[in-house]
Amino acid sequence: MDAITPGLLAPEILEREDVKRALAEHDFSAAFSLIKKWGGLSQNRIAAACQLTPGKVSTIINGQQQVTSFDVICRIADGLRIPGRMVGLADRPWERQSGAPDPPTPPAARTSDDGPWEPVATVGLAADLTRSDLVMDRRSATRALAGTALSGANLLDHLEGWLKPAPPHPAHRRGRIGQREVRELETTARAFRAWDHRFGGGLRRKAVVGQLNEVAGHLEEHQAPDIERGLFQVMAYLSGTAATMAWDSGLQKQAQNYYMLALRAAHAAGDVAFGANVLAGMARQMLYRDHPQDALELVHLAQKRAKQAAGPRVRAMLHTREAWAYAAMGRAAAFRRATGEAIEVLAEAEADEEPYWISYFDEAELAGVTGGRLLDMARADPQQHAESAAENIRSALAGRGSEAGRSHALDLIGLAESHFLMGDVASAVDHTHRAVDAASRTRSSRVRTQLGQLYPYTVGRSASRTVWEARARIREVLSS
């Protein structure tokens, strides 16, 4: 898309009433035909600009296929330099650019797959990564969106060090901080995690990174062994939150860097249970990127070391990640087995017996995760799985309520899609409206991505006013 110049379409083409009407109605069959006729663009050039195949453009022009994906609409707008307002979107990033030259790119930080699994290397990594992140400006962040997270052997081979115990912390004289300061830092980390769990998005990401940079600074000064372990644990908590915030903002490579830092910090702290939790987060990232085999490897890596160290909630959560990977592979029997193991293990959990960061994983969370995976399988076989997906998602909604924020919004989106798959359009529309209300209260790009998956279900039913209204509301939130 960077190769496409802003002047691809002459201004007078976009001022034509027939072009404006076709774009406003998302009639891309007419829009592409008019652009070919009046703009002098070939099908191949339209395809290249919009990151589509020439065959896809041909089927759109011939009326054999409608454009229903929000992502494709964005690519058409950006590729042909069509102002966002003309297709029901907010101003596109290129519309807001001033034309000023890009500022110098900050020096690249070392990524967390460099260096040995030693505490001193982890401190250096944290310092580099946070300093680089804190000086990242808006344009650098936009470029970071294109960063690709590692996968396969490039990722997994670097994590083998997790299986070996960390070397003992060297004896240093007492540093400038004590246990009280460590507890205060942990309280801050806990508050940031709660914020992210409820609201999502990257609104406070830089604040988390700043706090993480401060912890790295304390560790650079050297502390007594018990203080060092406590600081590494806080570093792990903050890095895990920074990872999920980066991921929720679409910064995939940055998220993976923080996940790796969190895993190394947990390793240095001797916190095996939280390290297993970090690996589960990395597995989830792989699942969203359609790498289920990598996700399964990550879960098995977590289970291998955390077998004795993790409590029931952590082990049950790992089983759900395992089930998720099986569902993505289409292995329904293995999915049911792993889900059954999660239910069985979770039944052993007792209140307040495990760390605060896993307290969210209860029967409602298990139901929500299970419902989401059944929904994944229902897209291929709605008759077999859609009703079960809806039943589990309803249990999740009843168990955690609207205060769950991001999870509540994702549940409602999933329930709406389940009803569309079952053919219950009235209920689907009702849940879509509730989902839009919930989505508008979060800053999570994940929520907006999921909401975008509802959009195609509302296309082609224009005879129904209620469906048209739901479609308009989805478009309004996705365009904001």
Q: In terms of pLDDT, which residue wins out, 5 or 283?
A: 283
According to the model, what pLDDT value does residue 1 have? 36
Model confidence at 264, pLDDT cuts 50, 70, 90, reads very high
- Residue 35 clears pLDDT 80, i.e. is over it: yes
- SS3 state of residue 177: coil
According to the model, what pLDDT value does residue 355 have? 92
- CA-to-CA distance for 477 and 188, rounded, in angstroms? 32
> Average of pLDDT values for 319-336?
96
According to the model, what pLDDT value does residue 168 have? 79
- Residue 233 clears pLDDT 60, i.e. is over it: yes
Q: What percent of the chain is predicted at pLDDT more than 70?
A: 89
Residue range 371-393, pLDDT digits in tens = 999 999 999 999 999 999 999 99
According to the model, what pLDDT value does residue 379 have? 94
According to the model, what pLDDT value does residue 345 have? 96
Residue range 446-473, pLDDT digits in tens = 888 899 989 999 887 556 888 989 999 9
Lowest mean per-residue pLDDT among 50-54, 146-150, 350-354, 362-366: 146-150
According to the model, what pLDDT value does residue 203 have? 62
Query: CA of 8: how far to CAs of 42, 72, 363, in Å?
Result: 12, 18, 54
According to the model, what pLDDT value does residue 423 have? 93
Q: In terms of pLDDT, which residue wins out, 73 or 297?
A: 297
According to the model, what pLDDT value does residue 5 have? 44
According to the model, what pLDDT value does residue 144 have? 54
According to the model, what pLDDT value does residue 51 have? 85
Residue range 405-418, pLDDT digits in tens = 889 999 999 999 99
According to the model, what pLDDT value does residue 173 have? 63
Residue range 267-292, pLDDT digits in tens = 999 999 999 999 999 999 999 899 99
As a whole number, the mean pLDDT across the chain is 86
Query: CA of 186: how far to CAs of 116, 178, 193, 356, in Å?
Result: 26, 13, 10, 11
> Average of pLDDT values for 150-155?
87
Residue type, 66: Q
According to the model, what pLDDT value does residue 351 have? 72
Q: The pTM is what?
A: 0.74
Residue range 84-138, pLDDT digits in tens = 888 877 777 777 654 434 333 344 444 444 456 888 889 888 988 888 888 765 5
According to the model, what pLDDT value does residue 140 have? 56
According to the model, what pLDDT value does residue 106 have? 41
CA torsion, points 423, 424, 429, 435, in degrees to nearest 10?
A: -90
Q: What are the residue ranges of helices labelled H in 145-222?
A: 153-156, 179-199, 205-220
Q: Name the token pair of 111.
A: 């990524």
Residue range 175-202, pLDDT digits in tens = 788 999 999 999 999 999 888 877 765 5
- Residue 429 clears pLDDT 90, i.e. is over it: yes
According to the model, what pLDDT value does residue 107 have? 41
Model confidence at 311, pLDDT cuts 50, 70, 90, reads very high
Best-predicted range by mean pLDDT among 47-56, 203-212, 215-224, 425-434? 425-434
According to the model, what pLDDT value does residue 108 have? 43
Q: With contact defined as beta carbons under 8 Å apart, do 311 and 273 qualify?
A: yes
Q: In terms of pLDDT, which residue wins out, 101 or 29?
A: 29
According to the model, what pLDDT value does residue 105 have? 39
> Average of pLDDT values for 313-336?
96
According to the model, what pLDDT value does residue 3 have? 38
According to the model, what pLDDT value does residue 37 have? 86
According to the model, what pLDDT value does residue 463 have? 60
- SS3 state of residue 351: coil
Lowest mean per-residue pLDDT among 248-262, 330-344, 360-374: 248-262
Q: With contact defined as beta carbons under 8 Å apart, do 13 and 38 qualify?
A: yes
Q: Name the token pair of 412.
A: 């409602």
